[in-house]
Amino acid sequence: MSNKVTFGLTNVHYAVATQAEDGSWTFEIPKRLEGAQEITTEAIGGSTQVYADDKVIATLVSNSGASVTLKFTEIDDIFKKDIFGVLEDTNGNLVEVVNSETKTFALGYEIQGDIKARRIWYFLCTATPSGDASKSKADSIEANSITLNITARPIESGDNLILRLIAGLGDTNYTAFLTTAPALPTFI
């Protein structure tokens, strides 16, 4: 039975990805990203109708990945160092280095449902560095939020191009899903 309703966002993790010379990818042990408030995903692609004989004869569908928007209370300094190449100087200051290489990573998270929770890994993600935003306190204090814009692209696994992997509560790998290095699925 599948969920009719989903809600919540928790257990956001990332795992740095490394590509070997043969094109294969490996993933490090995931690290937790605290302070996630909201996630939205949107498919990159679309559909095109093919017309002939005054009617639609085919629909061509493309799926090139997903655009992911992830909102945080603050982005962790370790993530900034691991993914964006931010350095720490001898004074303990964070230094944004413009010519650092942005790293590829897997993005994992958990959402709840009316029937069962689900855990999800997007395999090949890149993020755009975020800016800062803040405002003065007034009669009440309102927390700032930081948005991370992520592009998730498919990873090759045999003849398949895989965008994400979804584990449901009760699946054999559910318990360790977000705490062990992401692995490509094997099929029956």
pLDDT by residue (tens digit) across 84-117? 999 999 999 999 998 999 999 999 999 987 668 8
pLDDT of residue 26: 95
Distances (CA, A) of 152 to 121, 163, 186: 10, 7, 21
pLDDT of residue 65: 86
Q: Indicate whether 64 pLDDT > 90.
A: no
DSSP conformation letters of 107-165? EEEEEEESS--EEEEEEEEEEEPP--------SS-----EEEEEEEE-EEETTEEE-EE
Exposure on the CB side of residue 79, measured as CA atoms within 13 A: 23
User: Closest Cα to residue 109, out of 58, 38, 52, 157?
Assistant: 38
Contacts of 92 (CB under 8 A, 6+ apart): none
Q: Indicate whether 6 pLDDT > 90.
A: no
Count each helix (H run) and each strand (E run) in the chain, helices first: 1, 13
Q: How far apart are the first and last CA of the chain?
A: 21
Q: Indicate whether 20 pLDDT > 90.
A: yes
Residue pair 102/85 in contact by the 8 Å Cβ criterion: yes
Determine the residue type at 147: T
Percentage of residues of the chain with pLDDT beyond 90: 56
Residue 46 — very low, low, confident or very high, per pLDDT cuts 50/70/90?
confident
Mean pLDDT, the chain, whole residue set: 88
Distances (CA, A) of 34 to 30, 72, 104, 161, 168: 13, 8, 19, 30, 22
Q: What's the rounded mean pLDDT across residues 38-52?
A: 86
User: Which is more confidently placed, 49 or 134?
Assistant: 49
User: Which is more confidently placed, 181 or 58?
Assistant: 181
What are the boundaries of each domain within the chain? 6-65+85-130+148-168
Pick the range with the lowest mean pLDDT from 42-51, 115-124, 127-136, 161-170. Answer: 127-136
